[in-house]
Structure 1
């Protein structure tokens, strides 16, 4: 392994960005069990028929039908730094926020910036670089940042409100998987492990490069995947890890997700880093929140378990499609530069309740 990566020279005179946050990236999410407890008492307002997707299945975004040809996708995502380089932090946060539009099968049209910064700690130059990073990703996605909101906060926070459009008949919810579907994952796992090693200054330059490459790759296959009749459900794998987001597919459809762990792609080096103890606290919180709904084989490797629940920041699309559509789904991923996309499992009838079975 090469020498550990040093913080960016641009921030050398200031605290490391990751030192200012109690958790980074999608690892900042409230644990699934706690979130469920918080939301269970939420009052249910009357819902208009135009609201095609709301909060009922913990989907990636809200979708509102405007007319027979267009539906508006609305989503927001923001978090504390997962890396120390301000420009890279902005890029990762923006890519992650826009991903939810792609995960609904839509095309992004514009964004609003959400900015909270400790202005007495970070220079305006550093904060400006964070915003520049976000702007660069929006340019790549072909959308403007049309406004936003800023506050002075204790921890650095950056993200976007992302808006998109989709044909109402092409909306892909996370609840519409069907028994017999195969599951395809678009990006390899391990971002949380890499971020844990980075925070301890034990991630080398190659590891950092792999981390940035995957977290700043826009999930552009989404609209093409949504146009395939054989694609039934879409979501993206983020803070709750592969097991958590697979469980959302299972619960939404009333089915069982069956994952073949041997086929799950991993970022290079993350298994070794996880074995050395570089695991986020969010991984354990994830398991505590939904572990009873995930069945593991006897003697399942604890390292594999930590990767199964590893929080992904700007993670890959998870596609539920017919076996006949699998080759075309993989071909779409390949055309967009997602060479690690792989079939990782299938949807089957549930037993006593929906859940995830790992083999």
Structure 2
């Protein structure tokens, strides 16, 4: 019998991230390291909480670098590999860049899980990189009590057309390119073993087309929606840009089955922690507790949140001059 990979992990996917508040406390005061004589001009570092770092190099180009890996979010090894790779590439797309090169990051409990399963994970990642037109060459592996997989990704972008957290201005609409609900649906999968094909399809869809459309439209502000939930990521964007984000809760799309999964009690701990972190900075008086929790739901390989209109993506709110809160939900 094939083992259920989610049973070998304390959490799943981006819901296993260190909580946003704890992470900010860890890195507060560290800043970005820019030694004298370092090559290139650092364009995006630690300060604004962006999805990747960016350095201007010769030839009118910027190198964009990121890494992302996590514990199993689904039981199928090949699907997990695809989801983890799609999620890692998303950080590059969220900056308006195209992925160039990726390296595997694999942690594997070699005495508990078959190496054949690890091969399937890596095959899933390789197929996603092939679809993305991104080189995949080697990487690093360690023997670990808990399985983890992801990629370190390097991309290229136009340094004057980057998508950034801190470039939002009042009056811009907010578009969301994938539906929410992945956290609660993955929690249901972990508890019951039931596959949700719609959720897997969302998590394995690249954000390449949305990224290109945003850059070509002249949009300069975006982020992706992953482990800190929609509320967490829009809070970071609004904070960095010095604006208030107003979200129309009724306009936010969800994967089929999301509200039923929530009603059945399948809530990742990461989603609750996200809501607790954002609540002091947000006005959530316009929605009920269940809706607030879904808006904070920890997504794995979610979509892009773009300050501008993206073809085919619903507009779920707008940016306004900074008010009392960074986020207002109506």
Q: Answer whether TM exceeds 0.5 for this pair.
A: yes
**Contact residue 33 and residue 288 of structure 1 kept, 8 A:** no
2:74 to 80, 83, 94: 83
Partners of 1:274 and 1:306 within 8 A in 2: no
Using a 3 Å threshold, how does the CA distance of structure 1 residues 166 and 75 change in structure 2: closer, same or farther? Answer: same
Asked whether the 8 Å contact 1:117–1:157 carries over to 2, the reply is yes
Aligned residue among 279, 289, 311 for 1:302: 289
| Partner residue, 1:171 | 162
State which of 101, 119, 136 in structure 2 corresponds to 1:110.
Answer: 101
CA distance in 2, matches of 1:236, 1:43: 22
- Distance in 1 (CA, whole Å) between partners of 2:197 and 2:34 is 47
1:197-216 matched pairs, under 5 angstroms: 197-201=188-192, 203=194, 205=195, 208-216=196-204
Map of 1:20 onto structure 2: 8
- SS of the equivalent of 1:165 reads strand
Aligned 1:63-82 pairs, distance under 5 A:
63-82=54-73
Q: Deviations over 1:282-341 (max 9, x none)?
A: 11111222210111125x3222111111011000011102xxxx3xx22xxx4xxxxxx2
Q: Using the alignment, how far apart are the partners of 1:311 and 1:357 within structure 2?
A: 19
Distance 2:22 2:265 in 1: 25
Alpha-carbon shift at residue 23 of structure 1 (Å): 0.6
Aligned-residue offset at 1:263? 0.2
Return 5+ residue gaps in structure 1 as ranges: 1-11, 335-340
Find 2:92's aligned residue among 78, 98, 101: 101
Any stretches of 5+ residues in structure 2 without a counterpart?
A: none
Counterpart position of 1:315: 302
* 2:230 is equivalent to residue 242 of structure 1: yes
CA shift, 1:46, in A, is: 3.8
d(CA) in 2 for partners of 1:112, 1:44: 23
Describe how 1:1-359 pairs up with structure 2 within 5 A.
Answer: 12-14=1-3, 16-42=4-30, 44-46=32-34, 50-201=41-192, 203=194, 205=195, 208-221=196-209, 222-229=211-218, 231-297=219-285, 300-321=287-308, 326=309, 329-330=310-311, 334=312, 341-352=313-324, 355-359=326-330
Distance 1:211 1:117 in 2: 25
Q: Distance in 2 between matches of 1:43 and 1:163?
A: 21
Q: What's the C-alpha RMSD, in Å, of the aligned pairs?
A: 1.4
- Displacement of 1:99 in angstroms is 0.6
8 Å contact from structure 1 (residues 77, 97) kept in 2: yes
Could you tell me how far 1:149 is from its partner in structure 2?
0.5
> What TM-score do the two structures reach when normalised by structure 2?
0.95
- The worse-fitting range, judged by mean Cα deviation, of 217-226 and 43-52 is 43-52
> Retained in 1: the 8 A contact 2:244–2:320?
yes
- TM-score with structure 1 length normalisation? 0.88
Q: Distance in 1 between matches of 2:149 and 2:255?
A: 25
Q: Is the 8 A contact 2:161 2:220 kept in 1?
A: no
How far 1:43 moved relative to its partner?
5.3
Alpha-carbon shift at residue 227 of structure 1 (Å) = 2.4
Evaluate the alpha carbon distance shift between residue 13 and residue 166 of structure 1 in structure 2; reply closer, same or farther with a 3 A threshold.
Answer: closer
CA distance in 2, matches of 1:18, 1:279: 15
Q: Secondary structure at the match of 2:167?
A: coil
Q: 1:202/1:13 Cα in 2 relative to 1: closer, same or farther (>3 Å)?
A: closer
